[in-house]
Amino acid sequence: MMDSHSHCHSHSLPLIQESGNISSSSRIRLLLANFQQVLLGTKLAVLFPAVPLAVVASHYHFGNVLLFTFSLFALAPLAERVSFLSEQIAYYAGPTVGGLVNATCGNAPELIIALMALQKDKLEVLKWSLLGSTLSNILLVLGSSLFLGGLANLSKERKFDQQQANVNLSLLLLCSQCHVLALMVGSVSSSSSSHTRMSLDLSRACSIVMLITYFACLFFQLKTHRQHYDILEDSSSDNGDSSDDAPVIGVTSACIWLVLMTTMVSVISEYIVGTIEDASKSWGMSVSFLCIILLPIAGNASEHAGAIIFAYKNKIDIALGVTLGSSTQITMFVTPVSLIAAWIKGIPLDLDYKLLETGSLVMAILIASLILQDGTWHYMKGVVLVVSYIVIGFLFFNLGTTF
């Protein structure tokens, strides 16, 4: 929560920027103020030095393992700032366009990493990174939120809005159906070439359907049932948090900073994708473990913390919106967009995540669906989700460096 000085400051900055006659000293002050808000306005700012260190490590060839380490730390603040800047732009764009901006940019780092992996023809890394982001949100973040929030609010009524959760969970179940069918195609095909062809055709058809369904969901949230979601958003402004909703920089500055931050995310993502195999061998961990467990934790650190804080404040509907909403964006938007991009480039990317990965995804979605079906929450439900994540993490950690 911002103090009174920063609250006043947040209202003055856009007004200063919009005035036509700004002196040189005012421009400098505005530039410094924007710099302070964007680069120092997050607790993850302590990790920003990792960004130039990663660039230097790449330029002077300090070694792929060191480069991967710096890049992993650099991804956390960059991803958080991309999310922050998209929210700033959304404030000026209005509810509908703003909602689209947030929906598109909300998981921009995951999409960029996926496209970088696609560019380098590392299809397994692409699949693992998207799977990891989904599992992290459904099990680790949601589980931690329910656990810590449940312990902090033992004496309060613990119910949540089921409509919001059911919409997201139904989309996640649809996604799991597409992945299971792509996996099962192999059991009915007569040859490997036939299997590949059938799997590709099915996956591409599913990706189109998933995208259409995702945009239908956006229409549902932003138009026909917006009043319901407005109630949930308004609750985040209660208890003196309303100052966080005001923009702290102007729309032009936000757009410029967003382009800059997204460019840096692209550079860092390219480093990560290019060095992850060497880090796997050096650390004695499987590539799948790094992609499914470590990478999502670094990329979504701020989002994770935000969801847990909301649950701690007994605002579980917002925590559910963050975790399940992010999972829905990854499975129903980022995944099909990656697949369609591969289709355009002639790369045979499908929805067949293989048996272990598909099983982990389906079980995670089923466990979350069962836990949330009655509209109540307590810390024991969080324990179940977190333990499920630990078991999956141990599975991929135990596979060795060859997987």
Indicate if the pLDDT at residue 324 is higher than 70: yes
Model pLDDT for residues 97-141, shown as the tens digit of each residue: 666 676 677 788 888 999 999 999 999 999 999 999 999 999 999
- What pLDDT is stored for residue 89 in this prediction? 82
Confidence at residue 400, expressed as pLDDT on a 0 to 100 scale: 64
Q: What is the pLDDT of residues 166-181, one digit of tens each?
A: 899 999 999 999 999 9
Window from 12-26, 134-148, 239-253 with minimum mean pLDDT: 12-26
Region 7-397: CATH code: 1.20.1420.30
Instruction: Give the per-residue SS3 of the chain.
Output: CCCHHHHHHHHHHHHHHHCCCCCHHHHHHHHHHHHHHHHCCCHHHHHCCHHHHHHHHHHCCCCHHHHHHHHHHHHHHHHHHHHHHHHHHHHHHCHHHHHHHHHHHCCHHHHHHHHHHHHCCCHHHHHHHHHHHHHHHHHHHHHHHHHHHHHHCCCCCCECCHHHHHHHHHHHHHHHHHHHHHHHHHHCCCCHHHHHHHHHHHHHHHHHHHHHHHHHHHHHHHHHCHHHHHHHHHHCCCCCCHHHHCCCCCHHHHHHHHHHHHHHHHHHHHHHHHHHHHHHHHHCCCHHHHHHHHHHHHHCHHHHHHHHHHHHCCCHHHHHHHHHHHHHHHHHHHHHHHHHHHHHHCCCCCCCCHHHHHHHHHHHHHHHHHHCCCCECCHHHHHHHHHHHHHHHHHHHCCCCCC
Where residue 214 falls among pLDDT bands split at 50, 70, 90? very high
Q: What digits encode the pLDDT tens for the residues 295-321? A: 998 887 777 888 888 888 888 888 888
pLDDT, mean over the chain: 82
